């Protein structure tokens, strides 16, 4: 018989198939492939992007030229723009505002065909550090309330360009998914005087069956209430509500190592896999309660599609229990 599991953070229910669980070879997914052609993010094509905002580059080189390791540019077709006034207003029962915000693209590497698992640890550290630098800089704009950092890798995950990159979107309000998670974490803290995410870490360390990797500062595991097969969370062991407060000296290298190794194991099990990851963090500029919140990364492999049942019910159906998924990933090195 399948199991119904309830997420203690958001109250979401999932259905886990424990009787006829899918093995990795049972999944049919759209493989990530490189089609070639001229890429605006590639080394030497700097003139094809908008002027860079910031970069990690050789000090002897000029902006918008070769010599970079990580490069940040404005999105050529931004969802939101930094210029203008927010101008919140109502039209009858509908709320509106101007599309004020920011939309940046962080090009993680000069190499077109290298994903995170193919990079050196120091190269991963570089772009993680740049995530922080850009988020801290964007947060200086008091109109902005939430900085979303997310990666779409592969066409099946929504990437319009093949070259590995991450997007940062700064929003003038807190998105509903983040707000729901923050409020539920705060309610748990008010009731129990503990962080729910810290409690999850303690339980995962006790039970061990869903842990994939662990190092001094981070835990990589398949959550008990996974929404998707082989969903993975990476969470700091030290309580910290904001990603940008991460230690550059100790935690960034630990995060780079566990993120790289987690993706490497996932891609051994599922070659050429597309995936998304999102950094869940607290709001900026004092909007929204953060007491009891704990930043983390949620990584979703593109192995299945959300269909009518999920859209209609809000439930998710998971064909591989997270305990089994973690076991497959632990065994791959």
Contact 235, 277 (CB under 8 A): no
Q: Of these residues, 103, 165, 294, 296, which one is catalytic? A: 165
3-330: which CATH architecture?
Answer: 2-Layer Sandwich (3.30)
In order along its 333 residues, the chain shows pLDDT tens digits of: 789 999 999 888 999 998 889 999 999 988 887 777 789 999 999 999 999 999 999 999 999 999 999 999 999 999 998 888 888 889 999 988 889 999 999 999 999 999 999 999 999 999 999 999 999 999 999 999 999 999 999 999 999 899 999 999 999 999 999 999 999 999 999 999 999 999 999 999 999 999 999 999 999 999 999 999 999 999 999 999 999 999 989 999 999 999 999 999 999 999 999 999 999 999 998 855 578 999 999 999 999 988 888 888 888 999 999 999 999 999 876
Question: Which conformational region is residue 324 in: left (phi greater than 0), alpha (psi within -120 to 50 degrees), or beta?
Answer: alpha
Known catalytic residue at 217: no
pTM of the model: 0.93
- Closest by CA to 16, choosing from 327, 328, 308, 319, is 319
Residues 6 or more apart whose Cβ sits within 8 Å of residue 45: 38, 39
> Measuring CA to CA, how many Å separate 132 from each of 39, 103, 128, 267?
26, 15, 7, 26
- The domain ranges of the chain are 3-330
């Amino acid at each position: 018989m399948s199991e119904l599991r309830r997420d203690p953070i958001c109250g979401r229910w999932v259905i886990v198939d424990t009787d006829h669980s899918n093995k990795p070879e049972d999944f049919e997914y759209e493989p990530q492939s490189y089609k070639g052609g001229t890429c605006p993010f590639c080394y030497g094509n700097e003139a094809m992007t908008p002027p860079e905002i910031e970069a990690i580059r050789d000090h002897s080189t000029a902006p918008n030229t070769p010599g970079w390791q990580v490069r940040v540019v404005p999105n050529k077709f931004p969802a939101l723009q930094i210029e203008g006034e927010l101008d919140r207003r109502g039209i009858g029962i509908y709320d509106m505002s101007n599309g004020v915000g920011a939309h940046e693209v962080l090009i993680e590497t000069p190499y077109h065909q290298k994903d995170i698992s193919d990079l050196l640890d120091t190269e991963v550290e570089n772009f993680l550090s740049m995530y922080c630098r850009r988020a801290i800089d964007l947060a200086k704009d008091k109109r902005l309330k939430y900085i979303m950092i997310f990666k779409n890798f592969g066409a099946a995950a929504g990437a319009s360009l093949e070259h590995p990159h991450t997007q940062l979107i700064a929003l003038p309000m807190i998105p509903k998914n983040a707000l729901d998670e923050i409020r539920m974490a705060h309610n748990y803290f008010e009731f129990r005087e503990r962080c729910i995410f810290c409690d999850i870490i303690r339980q995962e360390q006790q039970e061990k069956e869903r842990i994939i990797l662990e190092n001094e500062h981070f835990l990589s595991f398949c959550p008990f209430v996974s929404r998707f097969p082989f969903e993975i969370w990476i969470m700091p062991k030290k309580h910290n509500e904001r990603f940008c407060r991460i230690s550059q000296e100790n935690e960034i290298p630990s995060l780079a190592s566990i993120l790289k190794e987690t993706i490497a194991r996932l891609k051994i099990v599922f070659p050429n896999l597309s995936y998304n990851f999102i950094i869940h963090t607290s709001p900026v500029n004092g909007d929204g309660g953060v007491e009891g919140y704990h930043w983390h990364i949620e990584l979703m492999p593109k192995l299945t599609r959300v269909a009518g049942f999920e859209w209609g019910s809000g439930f998710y159906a998971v064909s591989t229990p997270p305990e089994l998924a973690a076991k497959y990933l632990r065994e791959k090195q």
